[in-house]
């Protein structure tokens, strides 16, 4: 240190002692992140949701002609797959892009410098992105059920299943975005993830080779697809539905936790 250095002058606050302000409680932090994200995407949300819903409805209607006469199981799989695809388009694909961009532009510093947990950032962003997919997913499920002539009685399962699928897919999107070294790779990873959900979610498992069926279980969101498909068939195996949704929830918590860890690591580069 140079000899020009001196002791600091007495602060204007005298002997004031700084009391540590508390950390922002998780619900309040998540609510703030959600409000910010919704404010940010408000303009883009409607066209995005329109595209996501139209894409899923288009696939459901197109496949109606292809699988005509193959039974309700196939129809239920297609409706379930296209419903979850609406969520995957936004929660996985777009969220991966968003976190890839935040990471590459050092924008994560903004959140990391706030008295909130990394989980609040991931959860809030994921919740905001997932929330505007819900209407599209419900519309797809209702229209798909009508087009394939499936029973409406158990359609309520779509709500918890789509919510849990949104958690796991958003968590996966965040993980992909934060894990990739470059934003372009995050975009590619998000799109590949969505393609995996599109293919493995919509094609009924019974039509897939043994090996792909084993891989399918590990793809986020496919168990939620199966839960919806089970609910749309007569004689719903409720035990399987609950188990699949529980595993999806656990998977979601795991992915959100992993995303939180990756976010902390990305900040301290």
Partner 1 sequence: MSDAGGVDGTTAYRVRGLEKSYRGASVPAVSGVDLDIAAGEVFGLLGPNGAGKTTLVRQLVGLSVPDAGSVAIFGHDLSADRSVAARLVAYLAQDEAALAELPVRLAVETSARLRGTRRREAARHATGLIDELGLGPIADQPMVRLSGGQRRLACVASALAADRPVLVLDEPTTGLDPVARRSVWAAVRRRRDDHGVTVILVTHNVLEAESVLDRVAVLDAGRVIACDTPVRLKAAVDDSVRIQLVWRHDPPHGDPAVMALARDATRDGRRWTARLERAEARDVLARMTRPPLIDALDDFTVSTPTLEDVYLALGGRADDLEHR
Interface residues toward partner 1, by CB under 8 A: 1-2, 4-25, 28-29, 31-33, 35-36, 39-41, 101-102, 105-116, 267-268
Concatenated DSSP letters for 14-39? TT--PPPPPPPPHHHHHHHHHHHHHH
Do the beta carbons of residue 154 and residue 241 sit within 8 Å? no
- Residue with Cβ nearer partner 1 (128 or 169): 128
What is the closest distance, in whole angstroms, from the C-beta atom of residue 190 to partner 1 in the complex? 19
Q: Name which of 25 and 234 has its Cβ closer to partner 1.
A: 25
Is residue 51 within a helix (H) or strand (E), and if so which, with residue range? helix 26-66
Nearest to 89 by CA among 122, 120, 59: 59
Show the tokens assigned to 156.
């309520």
In the complex, least distance from residue 84 CB atom to partner 1, rounded to whole angstroms: 27
* 76 close to 148: Cβ distance less than 8 angstroms: yes
**Are the C-beta atoms of residues 133 and 51 closer than 8 Å to each other?**
no
d(CA 84, CA 224): 8
Whichever of 75 and 100 has its CB closer to partner 1, that residue is 100
Q: Indicate the residue among 11 and 239 with the shorter CB distance to partner 1.
A: 11
Q: Classify residue 260 by burial, with Cβ atoms within 10 Å: 0-12, 13-18, 19+.
A: buried
The answer for residues whose C-beta is within 8 angstroms of residue 80's C-beta and 6 or more apart is 161, 201, 225, 226, 227, 228, 229, 232
The residue (of 115 and 237) whose beta carbon lies closer to partner 1 is 115
Give the separation between CA 103 and CA 112, rounded to whole angstroms. 11
Least CB distance to partner 1 at residue 124 (A): 10
CB of 110 or CB of 238, closer to partner 1: 110
Min dist. Cβ of residue 173 to partner 1 (A): 17
The least CB distance from residue 10 to partner 1, in Å, is 6
Q: Between 23 and 68, whose beta carbon lies closer to partner 1?
A: 23
Least distance to partner 1, CB of residue 240, Å: 41
| C-alpha radius of gyration, the chain, whole number | 22
Q: How far is the CB of 180 from partner 1 (least distance, A)?
A: 17
């Amino acid at each position: 240190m140079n000899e020009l250095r001196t002791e600091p002058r007495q602060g204007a606050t005298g002997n004031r002692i700084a009391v540590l302000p508390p950390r922002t409680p998780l619900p309040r932090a998540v609510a703030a992140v959600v409000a910010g994200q919704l404010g940010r995407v408000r303009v883009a949300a409607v066209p995005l949701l329109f595209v996501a819903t139209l894409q899923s409805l288009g696939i459901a209607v197109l496949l109606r002609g292809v699988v005509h006469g193959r039974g309700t199981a196939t129809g239920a799989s297609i409706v379930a797959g296209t419903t979850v695809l609406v969520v995957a388009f936004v929660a996985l694909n777009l969220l991966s892009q968003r976190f890839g961009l935040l990471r590459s532009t050092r924008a994560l510093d903004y959140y990391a410098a706030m008295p909130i947990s990394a989980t609040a950032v991931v959860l809030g962003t994921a919740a905001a992105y997932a929330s505007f997919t819900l209407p599209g997913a419900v519309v797809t499920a209702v229209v798909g059920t009508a087009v394939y002539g499936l029973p409406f009685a158990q359609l309520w399962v779509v709500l918890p299943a789509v919510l849990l699928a949104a958690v796991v897919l958003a968590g996966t999107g965040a993980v992909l975005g934060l894990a990739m070294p470059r934003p372009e790779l995050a975009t590619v990873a998000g799109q590949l993830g969505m393609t995996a959900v599109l293919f493995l979610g919509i094609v009924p498992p019974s039509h897939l080779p043994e090996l792909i069926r084993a891989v399918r279980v590990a793809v986020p969101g496919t168990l939620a697809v199966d839960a919806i498909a089970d609910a749309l068939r007569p004689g719903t195996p409720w035990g399987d539905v609950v188990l699949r949704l529980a595993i999806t929830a656990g998977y979601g918590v795991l992915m959100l936790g992993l995303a939180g860890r990756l976010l902390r690591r990305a900040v301290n580069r």
